[in-house]
Amino acid sequence: MPQTEKPGTEVIAPTRLRWWTELPLILLVYGCYTAGRLLARGNTSTAVDHGLALLRIEKALRLNAEHPLNRLFTREPWLGIPADFWYASLHYVVTPAILVFLFRRRAEVYRRARTWLMTSTFIGLIGFTLLPTCPPRLLEAKYGFVDTMAQYSSYGWWGGDASAPRGMGGMTNQYAAMPSLHCGWALWCGVMLWRHGGNRLTKVLGVAYPLLTALVVMGTANHYFLDAVAGVFVMGVGYLLAPYVMRAANAVRIRMTRGTSLVAARSDGAVSPIVSDGCQTSAGERIPSQREPRLASGAEPDVSPTDAGDGAPAPAR
C-alpha cells in the first residue's frame, strides 16, 4: 500500500553514499581521536596510581590474566613477535577494510555501523581524558611485567614507545590505556564479520578476531583485563547511542536542506511548490480546494455581490 503524506509535510530521502564525503568524515574522526589522545596526557603519578588500582582489583577478583600471558609471550618469541605485529598494525588495517566492505557491499547498514564506531570512539576519548592509566608495561619492574614491544623492537618498525614508529614516541599518549579501543574496535569488526560476512569463515573470524586481540593486548603488557572489559562496555554504549546520533544528524541535514531551498527560491523568485490546503496562483492568491469538486460536477459557483460587479445584485438561483 502506498504511503500517504500529511498535508504540509516534507519527506527528504537519505542522501546517497559518496566516498568523497565519507572519507574526509572518517579521517576527521580519526584525527580527533589522535589529537584527543595527545591532549589527554595526565599526570604520570596519577596514571600510575590508576594502573595499580586496576591491578589490585583484578588480583582481588582473580582476574589478572596479564601476568601468565605476558610471561608466555616474553619466553616464546614465536608468540611474542606475531603478537607485537598484531597489536601494532591490525586495528589500522582490519577496521578500515571492513568499513570499505560495508560501504561497497552493504550500504544499507553502513551508516549505522559507521556511526556506532565513531560514537564509541568519542566515548573512549572521554575515558582517556578522565582516567589516564599507566599500562602494565610501564610499571616498575617489581610488578612483574615485560614490555614485549621493546623486547622485540628489532623485528618491527616500533621502538620502545608502544606501537609508535621509532623516533615518533612523543606523538602518542602512552597513558591512554583505559578503555582499550583495540578491543573495542576488534569487537565492532567481529560483529560486522559475523552479521554481514556472508559465509562460515567470516563468522569464525568474527569470533576469533576480538578474542585474540584481547589476548594480544594483555600478553604484550599494553592493557589490563579491565581495560578490555571497558572497551567492550564503551562499544555497548556507542551501539545504544548510535540511533540517536543518526537522528540528530538527519535533523541537522534536513534543516540545512530547507535553508538552502529557501535561499535558492528567494534568489530566483520561484514560488514554493508545496501547497497543502489548495492551489496557488502566480500572484500568491490561494483558491480553497473545497471549490474544486463543485466546479467539476457542473454546479454554478457562488458569486458574492462584490464578485458580480460594482454594486450589482447576485444572480437569482
User: What is the rounded CA–CA span in Å between residue 145 and residue 206?
Assistant: 30
Residue found under cell 569470533: 207
Which of 36, 204, 163, 25 lies closest to 99, judged by CA?
Answer: 25
Angle, vertex CA 104, rays to CA 102 and CA 105, nearest 5: 65
C-alpha cell at 46: 596519577
User: What is the rounded CA–CA span in Å between residue 9 and residue 246?
Assistant: 21
Residue 44: pLDDT band with limits 50, 70, 90: confident
C-alpha cell at 104: 561497497
Residue found under cell 610471561: 71
pLDDT of residue 104: 86
- Residue 170 DSSP class: G
Q: What is the dihedral of CA 272, 276, 278, 283, to 10 degrees?
A: -20
User: What is the rounded CA–CA span in Å between residue 60 and residue 236?
Assistant: 26
Residue 34's alpha-carbon distances to 62, 83, 223, 256, in angstroms, are: 33, 23, 18, 29
User: What is the rounded CA–CA span in Å between residue 123 and residue 120?
Assistant: 5
| Residue 17, pLDDT above cutoff 90 | no
Q: What mean pLDDT comes out for the span 37-46?
A: 67
- Per the omega criterion (within 30 degrees of 0), is the bond before 179 cis? yes
Residue 227: pLDDT band with limits 50, 70, 90: very high
pLDDT of residue 255: 78
- Residue 177 DSSP class: -
Q: Which helix (H) or strand (E) holds 260?
A: helix 225-268
pTM summary value: 0.71
User: What is the rounded CA–CA span in Å between residue 109 and residue 20?
Assistant: 19
Weakest mean pLDDT among 62-76, 190-204, 259-273: 259-273
The mean of the pLDDT values for the chain is: 77
Instruction: Give the tens place of pLDDT for each residue, 260-276.
Output: 655 555 555 544 444 44
User: What is the rounded CA–CA span in Å between residue 14 and residue 49?
Assistant: 48
Is the pLDDT higher at 44 or at 40? 44
C-alpha cell at 94: 582490519
User: What is the rounded CA–CA span in Å between residue 87 and residue 97?
Assistant: 16
The contacts of residue 197 (CB under 8 Å, 6+ apart) are 203, 205, 206
| Residue 314, pLDDT above cutoff 50 | no
CB-based contact 132:46 (threshold 8 Å): yes
Residue 211: pLDDT band with limits 50, 70, 90: very high
pLDDT of residue 45: 86
Q: What mean pLDDT comes out for the span 5-26?
A: 52
Cross-strand bridge partners of residue 265: none
Positive or negative torsion for Cα 261, 265, 270, 272: positive
User: What is the rounded CA–CA span in Å between residue 177 and residue 127?
Assistant: 9
Residue found under cell 593486548: 217
Report H helices in 17-76. Answer: 19-39, 44-61, 66-75
